[in-house]
Amino acid sequence: MQQEADTGSEHVIVVGAGLAGLAVALRLHRKGVKSVVVLESSPALRASGYAITTWANAFRALDALGVGNKIRKRHQQIQGVPHHEARRVRRDLLVQALEEELPEGTIRYSSKVVSIQEDVGSAAKIIHLADGSVLRAKVLIGCDGVNSVVAKWLGLAKPSDSGRLATRGIALYPDGHCFQPKFLQFIGQGFRFGFVPCNEADIYWFYTWSPPKNEADDCANESGAKVKQQVLDKLRSSKVPMEALEVVERSEMSDDAPAAPLRFRPPLSLLLASISKGNVCVAGDALHPMTPDIGQGGCSALEDGYVVGFLQQSDNAVVSFLREKVLAGVLARTLVKMADYDCGTL
């Protein structure tokens, strides 16, 4: 049965409890905004994605959010990147660190957004959920990934397909491993494989390849066990060292999209697009999905969350003008940020 809209109050609604969504919510919380609700379609906090490369720009955002040192303590500094802070951070530990800083009840799980409507007579947006409930949003921020409902409402085109698939994993070494905290990579015929330690006990690895177009859908629907075996077979035939093979062998592969297509949104496609409209905007992968080649997807999502959180809640006349008249154009021209970018103190 459909529930009536919550007409007694309006909320700042963030769609998606990923990196960008949690960063937005935490930034608003730090600024004293009390009416923040994060809608997450999953029944629990999503820890998929395994790990992200977290550069100096991301740590500046994490420090501003108050969780930087918590993350540093559990992850090693990557060697061979002079003058830059870089760590491979387990995604589950990162989202947990952000979630722990939010007031209890901020995240509403099993809350899948199915449609968005204008509220006639006001600037509020009416948010319809799959369970039939309805919420009013005084501000709506879409952080709901590459298949964003909010981005679709704004009229953004679907992300482009790179033609590549990726599978990833975390190898567990309870007694410690022998690898230095350095990035190691192997490039073979039609694939790229690499790994880097997160800490003394966990190693993140990835494998990307370009299947024939007629096989891409089949690959994406394979079980985790089968994808893992295919990766091992390919690596063995390419004479990858046994130590590297063991990294994959020690990993458990989930059946939840073990071979994921790599998608991106070309920055030029956003020049004439509406990435914000009134009190609605998008951030993170909902705005600028990118391939992992430059290691900035997660970093940019954290930066987005910190900066968008400030801009959306401010009543300052200058900030309001920038938010509504200039923000879309500026973001469209600066989507791919340098790893040493300083988001500053807002």
pLDDT tens for 313-337 read 444 554 444 444 444 444 434 433 4
Same domain, yes or no: 43 and 131: yes
Dihedral angle at the C-alpha atoms of 154, 312, 61, 329, nearest 10 degrees? 50
Q: Please identify, among 263, 293, 318, the residue that sits at the C-terminal boundary of a domain.
A: 263
In a domain, 346, yes or no: no
Alpha helices (H) in the chain, listed in sequence order: 19-30, 56-65, 68-72, 91-100, 149-154, 213-220, 224-237, 242-249, 297-313, 317-321, 327-333
**Which domain does 219 fall in, by range?**
162-263
Q: Looking at the chain, how many residues does it have? A: 346
Beta-bridge partner residues of 209: 165, 191
State the total domains in the chain.
2
Burial 279-298 (b: 16+ CB within 10 A, else e): bbbbbbbbbbbbebeebbbb
Do both 218 and 332 map to the same domain? no
pLDDT digits (tens, 9 = 90+) for 240-282: 999 999 999 999 888 877 888 999 998 888 887 888 898 999 9
Asked if residue 220 and residue 93 are part of one domain, the reply reads: no
In a domain, 280, yes or no: yes
Residues in CB range of 203: below 8 A, 6 or more apart = 170, 171, 173, 177, 179, 195, 196, 197, 247
Which of 248, 263, 278 is at the close of a domain?
A: 263
Domain for residue 36, yes or no?
Answer: yes
Give me the residues paired with residue 116 across strands: 127
List the chain residues with pLDDT less than 50: 1-5, 7-8, 311-315, 318-338
Report the alpha-carbon distance of residue 99 to residue 106 in Å, rounded: 9
Distance CA 267, CA 327 (A): 15
Specify whether the CB–CB gap between 12 and 28 falls below 8 A.
yes
